[in-house]
């Protein structure tokens, strides 16, 4: 009976695999990877990727053969349906061909799976690797987020692929990522998700050869003038600097990005030097296929009479120079694309026609990401994009500052908006997309890669597929959780860019979201699934915490007993602005101490009023803090006269600043609370800030408290 049962199982398996290609059987290889020449770097890179993944899934190492292998000359004339000859030890193995096909276009692949063979074809490195990754995804591999926690590798001894014949190529040729690499796995993740460009910032900081192994290329579109004309040259030639308010402004050499420093580009010496630097760089870096002519960040463009003659507006000046440089680059390096932005002071279309080797990133700086670009709230950005896309079809890409409006670590459910926008980019015939900053939500990161390849796909179907592979039996409640966030975002309709918005967004769904996450944890079948749910729960708890971190002062948690422990001298401003540092970085502001019932607690409070928008702050410092303890900050804040937000920074000595945008309070006092603050060098500064926003009104500050936590 047992023998009969085993035979029936074997027959059932045989029927199930009849239309499949079997790669491994019970932990043994039953196929071999075949390349044309082992010396061909591209073919063997793709072959090794497939071999290594199969090994990790099954424990079986597939042999990698070549058509010139001594006992395998037959492989050059092999036809589908033929058996391999009985040449030990490979005679019983069936072939997986990894091979060039010059008839395919750039990045295109073809994957053929039959019961007799697999053939993966591409015309270049990326195409072959994408073909391998298509096969791996069909075998159950998924890697939606760069963290290894999200790499899904099935574990099985028998691995088979269903029959198919798929030819595919990307819709958008620019599928870029802006962030710094951590290790080679970062590029492996990019390649697996068919993201082909990593932004260079500036060039020379990264080893581009490492990227090429995974089909990733440098995308040099960063602010670059400081790289081509370094600070020492601006000091040697003061006339090269932009004239601002009647003075030639020198760069701040301590700032590697040279923020808010520009050049006098009407000066022919500046243009000649910069173009020479670019040509020399391309000569030294022959692998580069893109180069930036984007100006330095911020404002401060030249106001001299010669520049006004050079171009009537900053846009005209900027693009006239870019066109001149692009023509010079094209003469020596016709394969190189020049990258710039439509951004800030040079966002308008120029009257001159730009050369064919220029590609322009239309930058979306402060758009509403909770609404599609075609929504009336984004009308100005939409109109600008349409103008550029009509003037330069196929040469415009979107450069969106995701990181500017989304807090890192919080879930950001903008899937519907992203899906609708990608269809718009398709209709406008854009070259592609480059968001600034990694999106912290694994599903939207997965969605970005899928829609950049094919914008026709349905995001809800992709969500179901994602949840099924990432969470197994817990997929149902996890899908409901994502849809809960997504529907709430659509209902809310605003960016989660300040604490007021976050707490308002979270409150209506708080308990339902936590219940779904608890249910998902209970259903998780494997430790890795449980860890993924725990990660998502941790992100939502940051939103949940806002309900306790940002509240009307009618719900205040501060007591007189707590105030008595305050380590900030004059945090209640009862001594005026003594022991408080007043600082205006840019623009014009007024600092006041208010009385007559304006204060939240006590008799006085401080106020910062906008005269001319820019950057101003009041700073309170504490020293001699215990580095073995954690601390908490409490601050009362009120916005008035049209001010829509304020910012609070805290800076532990020796560490980067933690920056929070608080949001508007509509004339009410609100309390903000930050806990679990670690101290590194015994000191901490609290910065009460107005940074560019608001553009009018005033922000009141009071009851600023720093205490050790129990």
| Number of helical H runs and strand E runs in the chain | 20, 28
* Beta carbons within 8 Å of 694's beta carbon, 6+ residues apart: 610, 613, 639, 642, 643, 644, 645, 646
Residue 677 corresponds to which tokens in the numbers above?
């603050």
Predicted pLDDT at 34? 87
Q: How far is CA 375 from CA 92, 436, 514, 581, in A?
A: 61, 22, 31, 43
Q: Are 252 and 226 in contact (CB under 8 A)?
A: no
Average pLDDT of span 154-165: 96
Q: Is 140 left (phi over 0), alpha (psi -120 to 50) or beta?
A: left
Residue 192 corresponds to which tokens in the numbers above?
């697996």
Go through 259-287 and write b for each residue having 16 or more CB atoms within 10 A of its CB, e for each that does not: ebbbbbbbbeebbebbbebbbebbeeeee
Question: Residue 55: is its pLDDT beyond 60?
Answer: yes
Helix axes 510-523, 475-492, angle to 10 degrees: 160
Predicted pLDDT at 9? 37
Average pLDDT of span 525-553: 91
Question: Residue 438: is its pLDDT beyond 80?
Answer: no
Q: Sign of dihedral through CA atoms 434, 438, 440, 446? A: positive
* SS3 category, 447: helix
Q: How far is CA 6 from CA 1, 12, 483, in A?
A: 9, 10, 45
Element (H, E) at 306: helix 305-310
Q: How far is CA 132 from CA 96, 105, 108, 620, in A?
A: 10, 17, 12, 57
CA 98 – CA 132 distance, rounded (Å) = 8
The position carrying tokens 């009308």 is 379
Nearest to 53 by CA among 197, 177, 127, 155: 155
CA 145 – CA 150 distance, rounded (Å) = 6
Go through 4-38 and write b for each residue having 16 or more CB atoms within 10 A of its CB, e for each that does not: eeeeeeeeeeeeeeeeebebbbeeebbbbbbbbee
Long-range contacts of 558-567 (CB under 8 A, 24+ apart): 558/634, 558/671, 558/703, 558/705, 562/634, 562/705, 562/707, 563/601, 563/703, 563/705, 565/705, 565/707, 565/708, 566/705, 566/706, 566/707, 567/622, 567/625, 567/706, 567/707, 567/708
Predicted pLDDT at 2? 41
Nearest to 501 by CA among 698, 648, 664, 647: 664
* Beta carbons within 8 Å of 411's beta carbon, 6+ residues apart: 440, 441, 485, 536, 539, 540, 543
CA 319 – CA 503 distance, rounded (Å) = 43
Alpha helices in 439-497 (DSSP H): 442-453, 459-471, 475-492
CA 672 – CA 553 distance, rounded (Å) = 9
Residue 290 corresponds to which tokens in the numbers above?
């893109």
Name beta bridge partners: 685: 621, 651
Q: Sign of dihedral through CA atoms 182, 656, 442, 527? A: positive
Average pLDDT over the chain, rounded to an integer: 88
Q: Are 513 and 477 in contact (CB under 8 A)?
A: no
pLDDT in tens, 182-235: 678 888 899 999 999 988 766 555 566 678 888 888 898 888 998 899 989 999
Q: Are 539 and 440 in contact (CB under 8 A)?
A: yes
Q: How far is CA 285 from CA 193, 206, 209, 291, 564, in A?
A: 27, 12, 11, 11, 62
Question: Residue 665: is its pLDDT beyond 70?
Answer: yes
pTM of the model: 0.85
Name beta bridge partners: 100: 122
pLDDT in tens, 93-141: 888 999 889 999 999 999 999 999 999 999 988 999 999 999 999 999 9
Predicted pLDDT at 481? 96
Q: Is 553 left (phi over 0), alpha (psi -120 to 50) or beta?
A: alpha
* Beta carbons within 8 Å of 147's beta carbon, 6+ residues apart: 442
Confidence band for 550, pLDDT divided at 50, 70 and 90? very high
Average pLDDT of span 632-648: 94
CA 420 – CA 434 distance, rounded (Å) = 16
pLDDT in tens, 365-399: 778 888 999 999 999 999 999 999 999 999 999 99
Question: Residue 71: is its pLDDT beyond 50?
Answer: no
* Beta carbons within 8 Å of 655's beta carbon, 6+ residues apart: 680
CA 553 – CA 369 distance, rounded (Å) = 30
Least-confidence region, from 296-300, 324-328, 440-444: 440-444
Confidence band for 85, pLDDT divided at 50, 70 and 90? very low
Whether the link from the prior residue into 69 is cis, omega within 30° of 0, is no
Average pLDDT of span 32-46: 78
List of domains in the chain:
17-168 (3.30.379.10), 174-470 (3.20.20.80), 474-548 (no CATH), 556-708 (2.60.120.260)
Q: Sign of dihedral through CA atoms 134, 136, 141, 144? A: negative
Q: Are 631 and 710 in contact (CB under 8 A)?
A: no
Q: Is 327 left (phi over 0), alpha (psi -120 to 50) or beta?
A: alpha
Least-confidence region, from 3-7, 32-36, 640-644: 3-7
Nearest to 648 by CA among 659, 657, 637: 659
Nearest to 302 by CA among 317, 286, 320, 321: 317
The position carrying tokens 């204060």 is 599
The 3-class SS string of 366-403 reads: CCCCCCCCCCHHHHHHHHHHHHHHHHCCCCEEEEECHH
Q: How far is CA 21 from CA 36, 93, 245, 249, 266, in A?
A: 21, 11, 72, 68, 65
Kindly report the backbone phi and psi dihedral angles of residue 499, in degrees, each rounded to the nearest multiple of 5, phi listed first. Answer: -70, -30
Q: Are 377 and 342 in contact (CB under 8 A)?
A: no
Nearest to 314 by CA among 268, 347, 292: 347
Least-confidence region, from 18-32, 37-51, 74-88: 74-88
Name beta bridge partners: 584: 616
Specify the pairing of strand 605-622 against strand 581-594: antiparallel
């Amino acid at each position: 009976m047992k023998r009969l049962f085993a035979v029936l199982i074997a027959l059932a398996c045989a029927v199930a695999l009849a239309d499949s290609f079997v790669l491994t059987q019970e932990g043994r290889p039953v196929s071999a990877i075949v390349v044309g020449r082992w010396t061909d770097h591209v073919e063997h890179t793709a072959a090794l990727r497939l071999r290594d993944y199969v090994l990790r899934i099954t424990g079986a190492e597939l042999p990698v053969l070549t058509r010139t292998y001594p006992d395998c000359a037959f492989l050059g004339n092999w036809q589908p349906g033929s058996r391999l000859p009985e040449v030990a030890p490979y005679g019983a193995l069936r072939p997986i061909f990894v091979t060039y096909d010059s008839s395919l276009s750039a990045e295109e692949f073809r994957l053929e799976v039959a019961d007799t063979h697999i053939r993966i074809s591409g015309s270049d490195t990326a195409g072959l690797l994408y073909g391998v990754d298509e096969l791996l995804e069909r075998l159950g591999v998924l890697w939606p987020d760069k963290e290894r926690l999200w790499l899904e590798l099935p574990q099985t001894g028998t691995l088979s692929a269903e029959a198919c014949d798929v030819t595919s190529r990307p819709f958008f040729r620019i599928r870029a990522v802006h962030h710094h690499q951590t290790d080679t796995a970062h590029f492996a993740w990019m390649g697996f998700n068919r993201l082909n460009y990593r932004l260079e910032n500036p060039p020379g900081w990264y080893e581009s050869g490492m990227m090429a192994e995974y089909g990733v290329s440098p995308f040099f579109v960063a602010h670059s003038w400081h790289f081509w004309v370094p600070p020492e040259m601006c000091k040697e030639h003061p006339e090269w600097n932009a004239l601002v308010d009647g003075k030639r402004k020198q760069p701040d050499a301590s700032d590697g990005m040279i923020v808010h420093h520009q050049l006098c580009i009407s000066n022919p010496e500046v243009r000649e030097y910069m173009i020479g630097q670019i040509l020399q760089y391309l000569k030294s870096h022959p692998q580069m296929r893109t180069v930036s002519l984007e100006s330095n960040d911020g404002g401060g463009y030249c106001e001299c009479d010669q520049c006004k003659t050079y171009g009537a507006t900053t846009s005209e000046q900027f693009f006239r120079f870019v066109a001149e440089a692009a023509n010079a680059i094209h003469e020596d390096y016709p394969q190189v694309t020049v990258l710039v932005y439509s951004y800030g002071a040079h966002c308008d279309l120029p009257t001159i026609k730009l050369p064919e080797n220029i590609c322009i990133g239309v930058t979306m700086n402060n758009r509403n990401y909770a609404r599609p670009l075609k929504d009336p709230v984004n009308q100005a950005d939409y109109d600008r994009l349409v103008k550029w896309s009509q003037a330069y079809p196929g040469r415009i890409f979107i450069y969106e500052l995701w990181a500017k409006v989304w807090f890192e670590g919080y879930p950001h459910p903008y899937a519907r908006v992203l899906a609708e926008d990608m269809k718009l980019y398709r209709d406008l015939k854009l070259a592609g997309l480059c968001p600034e900053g990694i999106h912290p939500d694994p599903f939207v990161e997965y969605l970005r890669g899928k829609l950049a390849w094919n914008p026709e796909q349905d995001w809800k179907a992709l969500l179901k597929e994602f949840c099924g592979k990432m969470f197994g039996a817990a997929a149902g409640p996890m899908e409901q959780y994502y849809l809960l966030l997504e529907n709430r975002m659509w209902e809310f309709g605003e960016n989660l860019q300040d604490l007021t918005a976050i707490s308002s967004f979270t409150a209506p769904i708080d308990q339902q979201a936590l219940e779904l996450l608890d249910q998902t944890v209970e259903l998780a079948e494997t430790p890795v699934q449980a860890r993924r749910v725990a990660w998502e729960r941790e992100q939502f708890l940051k939103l949940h915490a806002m309900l306790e971190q940002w509240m009307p002062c009618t719900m205040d948690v501060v007591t007189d007993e707590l105030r008595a422990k305050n380590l900030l001298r004059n945090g209640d401003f009862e001594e005026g602005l003594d022991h408080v540092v007043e600082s205006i970085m840019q623009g014009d502001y007024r600092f006041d101490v208010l009385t007559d019932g304006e204060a939240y607690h006590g008799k006085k409070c401080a106020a910062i009023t906008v005269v001319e928008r820019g950057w101003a702050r009041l700073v309170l410092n504490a020293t001699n803090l215990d580095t073995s303890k954690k601390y908490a900050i409490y601050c009362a804040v009120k916005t008035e006269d049209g001010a829509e937000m304020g910012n609070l920074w805290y800076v532990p000595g020796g560490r980067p600043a933690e920056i929070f945008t608080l949001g508007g309070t509509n004339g009410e006092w609100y309390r903000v609370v930050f806990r679990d603050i670690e101290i590194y060098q015994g000191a901490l500064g609290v910065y009460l800030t107005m940074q560019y926003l608001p553009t009018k009104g005033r922000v009141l500050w009071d009851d600023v408290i720093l205490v050790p936590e129990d």
